Amino acid sequence: MRHLKAAVLAALVWPATVAAQTEIRAAVLRVDVQGRPPVSRLDLPPDDLGLAGARLGTADNATTGRFMGQTFITEEVTATPETAVQAIEALVARGTRMVVTLADEATTLALADAAGEGVLLFNARARGDELRNDQCRANLLHVAPSRAMVADGLAQFLMWKRWDEWFLISGSHPADRALADALRRAATKFGARIVEERTFEDTGGARATDSGLVQIQAQIPAFTQRAADHDVVVAADETGLFAAYLPFHTWEPRPVAGSAGLRPVTWHPAMEMWGGTQFQTRFEKQSARPAREEDYQVWLALRAIGEAATRTGSGDMAVLRDYMLGDQFQLGAFKGQALTFRDWDGQLRQPILLGSGPIVASVSPQSEYLHQVSQLDTLGTDRPESGCRIDRKE
Amino acid sequence: MLTRSTALAACLLAASPAFAGKIFVSNEKGNDITVLDGTSFEVIATFPGGQRPRGITASPDGKRLYVCASDDNLVRVFDTDSYQELPSLPSGPDPELFVLHPSGNPLYIANEDDNIVTVVDVETRTVLAEVPVGVEPEGMGVSPDGGIVVNTSETTNMAHFIDTTSFEIVQNVLVDQRPRFAQFTADGKSLLVSSEIGGTVSVIDPATGEIRTKISFAVPGVLPEALQPVGVRVTRDGSKAYVALGPANRVAVIDGTTWEVTDYLLVGQRVWQLAFSPDEKYLFTTNGNSNDISIIDVASDEVIRSVQVGEQPWGVVAVQ
C-alpha cells in the first residue's frame, strides 16, 4: 500500500508522464575470455564480476523507482566471444533495448553492429581509443574510460610531480602496445619525455611457480639496467603479466606507475571521498567483496539509465538516450562532480583515480589543467581532435 | 555580547560564572569536539567525540550536545557545561546528519548506509520508527511546527516529506544531483534544499511540493564544478539566506525575498556546514580542508575572524 501511495504522491509533484507503473528493462552481457590467470591471486576475477555492480545499480534505481512508479529489471547474461552475438540477438528478441556490455574491443563492435539502431549499448569494459574515434558507433556509449583518458590522468599527476622523464616498458600483446601508444600520446600532450623504451616479451609460462621469486629478483634488475636517466618507470601491461614485478626490482631506485605502482583506475576499494564510502559499504554488504572497476562501470551504466528514467518519467530507449546525451543530464557517482556524456563520441566524462596500493593517492584531472568547456575534457580525446564522425542530431 | 534568556543565564551563571555561550565544532578526522567561547572566540576546550563525529546539534535548552559518531553507529550525547559524556542514543548504522523536533524530542537521523530515517526518543533512548527513504539519506530539516521532517537522499535526488505523526512519506520532490541539506524558513513557507553536484539550491513550496525557483551560483575565476552548495541557513526574519559552497571556499549571501545572490564571502577551504549564534549576530562556518572556522558578522556580511579548530571540522552548533 505504501508503494502505491508513494507513487500517487510522486505523481502529484511530478505530473509529467508518470501515472501507471513504468517498466525499464535492461541487460548486462558479460563476455568471458579464457586467458592465463593474473600474476597475483588477489586479482583473480570473482564469479559475479560486473554482475554485482549491475545488481547494486538496479537496487539503487529500484529505491528511487518506488517513489516514481517505475520498476527496473536487469537481465544478466554471460557468453563467450563465440556465443556473444547470439546472446545479444536473443536479448533483443525478448524486447531488451538497453544492454551493458563487458567485452573486449572486437566483440564490443560486433555486438553493436549485431544489435542495430534500435538498441543502445553501454560499453563497460573495452578501453580501445579506436572505439571512440574511427570505429565509433551511434548506438554505443562508453562508461569505461578510454586508454587515452587513463594515460592522461596519470600523465597530469606525473607532470605535477615534475617527473617528466619516463622509462616506458610495454608488454608485447596488442592491448599492451595500445596502452603504450596512449602513454606516448599523453607524454606529448603534457610535455613529458620518454627517454628510454623497452618491450617485455611474453615468452609464455605459468604465472607463478614455487620459489619463482628467485628468478624474478634476478630478471627484472637485469632487464632494467643501463637505461637513460629517468624520473619514473611507466609500465604498459594491460595483459597483466609483468608490471606487478617492477616495483623494488628496477635497477635504478625509481617509482613505478601505470600498470603497477601508481595505477590510474575508475574505482578503488579504498575510495572514501565524495560519499564513496557509502557506495563501498552498500556494495560490500550486497556482494561480500570489494567493488572492482567493472562493477563500478556497470553500476554507472545502470545509474545513467535510472537517472534518465527518473528525470524523463520514461522507459523508452530513444527518450532516455536523447536525455543522456543532452545538456540536462548529470550523474552523481562519488567523483566530486557531475558525470556527463560527450556528445561527439558517446564517452562518459569522469575523473580518474590514482591508486597506490591500499590507498587513493590522487585524483585527476589535476586542478592546474584547465579547459574552456570542462576540466574533464583534459582527459582523453577532446572534440576538436575526435575521429568520430557521427551526426547524432538527426 | 550575546543576548540570552535571563532565567537560563541566571541558572548557568550560578553553575559557571564565566559562561558566555559556546560554539561546538565536530572534527571528522580528529575524532574530537572543539569548544570555543561564544564571546572571545578563543578555543577553551577539546574533548573526544567518538569515531568520525559529523552531524552536531544541541537541545533547545542548550544543555545537551548531540553528535553523530558515524563510525560508532550511534549518537553520542554530552553535557555542554562539563563535557561529560551522557548515555548514547541508538542511531541505526552510519548516522551522518540529524535534526531535533522543535520541542527537543524526538531526534530524526539520516542513516546513509541503510536508506532509512531513524526516529529516536532522546529521553527513553529508544527507536520509535524507521522510515524507508531514497538511496543515501543525508539532509534533514524539520518544519517550524514540527509536523513535517524532510530528508534528502543523495543518490535518489529527492526531498522526502515525512509526516512526524504517522511516519509516512507524504510527498517527494525531485531536485538536482546529490541533495545535501534541507532547511525550512522560520515561517515554514519555504524549504531550501542544496544540491552539491547539481550546483543549485531549490526553493520549494512545502505545501504543494512545487519548486518555486532554483538558485545557482557563479564566481569569476572559480570553476563552475567547484561551486558545490552544502550547508544552508536562513535568518529568523527570512531576510537573508547563507549557502556554504564547499571547494569554492565561499559562502553565498542570498536575498530572502528575491532569492538572488547578493554577495560571496571568502572563507576557509571546503566550507560545508553553517550555524548562527543564538542571537544571529554571527554565522560560523566549518572549513574542512583548512582546519578552521570562519566567523561572519551577519549585519555587515563581513568575515571577521578565522579560528583554528581540530582536524577536518565538519559540523558546528552554538548554544546560549
CA distance B201 to B186: 17
Q: Which of B154, B157, B171 sits opposite A9 (nearest CB)?
A: B171
Least confident of B86-100, B189-203, B230-244, B286-300: B86-100
Per-residue model confidence (pLDDT) at position A38:
84
Between the CA of residue B23 and those of B26, B65, B267, B278, B316, what are the distances in Å? Answer: 10, 11, 18, 10, 7
Per-residue model confidence (pLDDT) at position A18:
44
State mean pLDDT over B111-133: 93
Domains and CATH numbers, chain A: 2-145+268-350 (3.40.50.2300), 148-264 (3.40.50.2300)
State mean pLDDT over B212-226: 94
Contact list in A for residue B172 (CB cut-off 8 A) is 6, 9-10, 13-14, 67
Between the CA of residue A313 and those of A98, B179, B193, what are the distances in Å? Answer: 16, 20, 22
Each residue's pLDDT tens digit, A365-388 = 999 999 988 999 999 999 999 999
Which of B156, B173, B245 to mutate: most A Cβ within 10 Å?
A: B156
Under an 8 A CB cutoff, do A64 and B209 touch?
no
State mean pLDDT over B33-54: 96
State mean pLDDT over B267-275: 97
Under an 8 A CB cutoff, do A10 and B172 touch?
yes
- Chunked in runs of 10, what are the mean pLDDT values of chain A (394 residues)? 42 45 95 87 94 97 93 97 97 97 98 96 98 96 98 98 98 96 98 97 71 78 96 96 94 97 98 93 96 98 97 95 96 95 96 97 95 93 91 57
Per-residue model confidence (pLDDT) at position A206:
61
CA distance B29 to B23: 19
Per-residue model confidence (pLDDT) at position A20:
65
A342/B1: higher pLDDT: A342
State mean pLDDT over B84-101: 92
Each residue's pLDDT tens digit, B177-204 = 999 999 999 999 999 999 999 999 999 9
Under an 8 A CB cutoff, do B198 and A330 touch?
yes
Per-residue model confidence (pLDDT) at position B10:
44
Q: What is the pTM of this model?
A: 0.88
b/e sequence B235-267, b meaning 16+ C-beta within 10 Å: beeeebbbbbbbbbbbbbbbebeebebeebbeb
Q: Which of A2, A12, A63 sits opposite B168 (nearest CB)?
A: A2
Which of B28, B168, B172, B191 to mutate: most A Cβ within 10 Å?
A: B172
Per-residue model confidence (pLDDT) at position A210:
66
State mean pLDDT over B224-245: 96
Per-residue model confidence (pLDDT) at position A215:
75
Under an 8 A CB cutoff, do B155 and A60 touch?
yes
Contact list in B for residue A10 (CB cut-off 8 A) is 172
Each residue's pLDDT tens digit, B273-289 = 999 999 999 999 999 99
ipTM higher than 0.85?
A: no
Least confident of A80-89, B3-12, B142-151: B3-12
Per-residue model confidence (pLDDT) at position B8:
47
> Is the pLDDT score of B2 beyond 80?
no
* Shortest Cα–Cα distance, B237 to chain A (Å): 28
Q: What is the mean pLDDT of chain B?
A: 93
Per-residue model confidence (pLDDT) at position B14:
42
Under an 8 A CB cutoff, do A281 and B197 touch?
no
Q: Which of A13, A60, A281 sits opposite B209 (nearest CB)?
A: A13
